[in-house]
Structure 1
Amino acid sequence: MRHEALAKLKAWMEAQGFERFFVVRPENFAWLTGGINTLGMGEPVAYLEVGEEIILHTTEIEARRMAEEEAPGLPLRAHPWYAFPPPGSPNDLGNDLTALRLVLEDEAQEAFLRLGQTAARAVGEVVRSATPEWRETALAGALAEALWGAGVRPLLLLVAGEERLFRHRHPLPKDRPLGRAFMAVVCAERGGLVANLTRMAAFGHPEVEARYRTVLEVERRALDRSRPKTTLGEVLEAIREAYLQAGFPGAFEEHHQGGVGGYRSREILATPGHPLVLEEGMALAWNPSLAGAKVEDTFLLKKDGLLNLTEDPSWPQVRVGDRARPDLWRGEW
């Protein structure tokens, strides 16, 4: 168990008057335990009973795997598969624990940095190896292989080649050629934490080049505004103003702009006027986009600024303001 996370939960339980609490949601499981995976075919196969002691409830089918691979040492109670009792109440299906997870504990911050670096390097190596003749599905397959090979689970893989890049913001890979410009979007999970990043390549495509420069400038405004004591709504307003100044006032309405990350791709999505106050220890993933271009990395908000968790030293960089940001891959570096 992660003791800092458990202490947060226990303090919250005391404030709510709960002597016992049941944890079911996978993101809360991972937060409390440091990454126990309770999913079986997409549905949770275990839950935690938190009281004077902590008990892991699961089925006879899953008990050995949980004891050996996921939760060694945690008291476990196995139930017949046909009589697996539902979690008691109160539980996290009826009580939202998101606010408790947002400020990442020191151990989680260190794990997030390791995840981000591993994922970014795996993605970067694959994208740099791709050529215009590749199919979108081939790039997605290579990304999945590289991530799994590095011990990272791809929760989401989006790929768009030149043919579809200007049409869809969430392009599921298709059997289409990559062409002169393409984009890879990845949500990568390990230990329950989720790193988000986007990488783009362009081989002599002036429109993609120009639009990518624009989204980098929009992102600069978001990153500059991402400071402790700033609200999510204030960062979002800076993004809206940046699109307006760049000559793309409608872009703000075409796609969400990101928000606070952590144990889900977006723990909290930034919406106009959102009152959440940013704090040191929160993860942020902004993803400004235009048709044909997007930029995205995952950052940790620290006292002295932002730490890029998904920075890849092997990827070409460009200076945007006072930061190094990922450039387009052009086939040479």
Structure 2
Amino acid sequence: MDQEHWGRLQAFMRERGFSRFFVSQPENFAWLTGGSNTLGLGEGVAYLEVGEEIVLHTTRIEHPRMLEEEVPGLPVRVHPWYAFPPPGSPNDLEHDLTPLRLRLSQEAQATFRRLGREAAHAVGEVVRAARPGWRERELAGALSEALWALGIRPLLLLVAGEERVFRHRHPLPKDHPLGRAFMAVVCAERQGLVANLTRMAHLGDREVEARYRKVLRVEEVALDRSRPGTSLGAVLASLQAAYGAVGFPGAWEEHHQGGVGGYRPREAVATPGHPLRLQPGMALAWNPSLPGAKVEDTFLLTEGGLENLTEDPLWPGVEVGGRRRPDLWRAGG
């Protein structure tokens, strides 16, 4: 149980005069407990009733597993699987708890560091082992195996080989060869937190390399603007200008540019004029892209600057704006 996160929920309830509150959304359940209340397909099998005490509601099917593996020690009310009641009111379907989740507790930050480090290492090892003759699905399967072996759930796996990397921003893996240039995109979840990262490899594709350098320059601007007190809208405005500076003024409209992460791949996506102010303790994941190139890591915003949670020291790096950023991997090298 994350006591800092629970304190925020209790303050929220006091401010609104709620003596009881029901929590059923998976991101909120994980934010408070570090456990999961779904079976991986979005089907909720438990929820929390928060009052004078915290009571877990679940079915007879899930009761032993939930108490042994997800939320040990909680009082529980067990319901028949055929008569599992919906959560009462007020609840987190009626009241958005996203603003409470955006600043991560010290405990959650420590968990995120470990997740980011292990996810980046696993992805890096697999992508470095890949060869141009692999199929996209083969790379996706290897990524999934490496992540699950560490207890990390791949919420999203995107892979594009040479045939598709210039065409699609969300390339679900298909039966195409990787070829001379390929991209792997991962949203990796453990204990509710989600680390986002992208890695690219090429073997002599000059256009991919040229565009990747431009994307790094766009990202540099976003990272420079990611400071406490800056709004998401202001960071997006800087990204818009940066795309123009590298010769692609309208590219920002072709794909979302990222935003605040945490217990969802993006808790808040940067949109024009978005008023949310960045604060220390927030996770940020920007993903500027052009056809054929994309860069992405997950950062923790601190009082002293940005901490890269998904940095892989074994991945080739390039210095951009005083930061070590992932370079292209020379596939087959």
With normalisation by structure 2, the TM-score equals 0.99
CA contact (8 A) 2:130 2:332 kept: no
Which deviations, in whole Å up to 9, do the C-alpha atoms of 1:59-91 show, x marking residues without a partner? 001001111111111111110111111110000
Partners in 1 of 2:193 and 2:8 — Cα distance? Answer: 18
2:262 is aligned to 262
Alpha-carbon offset, residue 332 of structure 1: 7.5
Which deviations, in whole Å up to 9, do the C-alpha atoms of 1:118-152 show, x marking residues without a partner? 00000000000001000000000000000001110
The 3-state SS of whatever aligns with 1:219 is: helix
Partners in 1 of 2:3 and 2:84 — Cα distance? Answer: 28
1:164 is aligned to 164
The 3-state SS of whatever aligns with 2:212 is: helix
Partners in 2 of 1:126 and 1:245 — Cα distance? Answer: 34
Partners in 2 of 1:253 and 1:311 — Cα distance? Answer: 27
Equivalent positions of 1:54-203 (< 5 A) are 54-203=54-203
Which deviations, in whole Å up to 9, do the C-alpha atoms of 1:204-243 show, x marking residues without a partner? 0100000000000000000000000000000000000000
Tell whether 2:219 aligns with 1:219.
Answer: yes
Alpha-carbon offset, residue 47 of structure 1: 0.4
Which deviations, in whole Å up to 9, do the C-alpha atoms of 1:4-62 show, x marking residues without a partner? 111100001000111100000000000001x2111024211000000110000000010
Partners in 2 of 1:160 and 1:230 — Cα distance? Answer: 34
Equivalent positions of 1:234-313 (< 5 A) are 234-313=234-313
Deviates more, 1:282-291 or 1:77-86: 77-86
Partners in 2 of 1:187 and 1:106 — Cα distance? Answer: 22
1:206 is aligned to 206
1:37 is aligned to 36
Alpha-carbon offset, residue 264 of structure 1: 0.1
Structure 2: unaligned runs, 5 residues or longer: none
With normalisation by structure 1, the TM-score equals 0.99
2:324 is aligned to 324
Partners in 2 of 1:72 and 1:180 — Cα distance? Answer: 49
The 3-state SS of whatever aligns with 1:122 is: helix
Which deviations, in whole Å up to 9, do the C-alpha atoms of 1:266-290 show, x marking residues without a partner? 0001100000000000000000000
Alpha-carbon offset, residue 331 of structure 1: 3.8
Q: Percent identity?
A: 72
Partners in 1 of 2:132 and 2:2 — Cα distance? Answer: 46
Q: How many residues align?
A: 332
Partners in 2 of 1:247 and 1:101 — Cα distance? Answer: 37
Partners in 2 of 1:279 and 1:242 — Cα distance? Answer: 23
Structure 1: unaligned runs, 5 residues or longer: none
Partners in 1 of 2:332 and 2:300 — Cα distance? Answer: 30
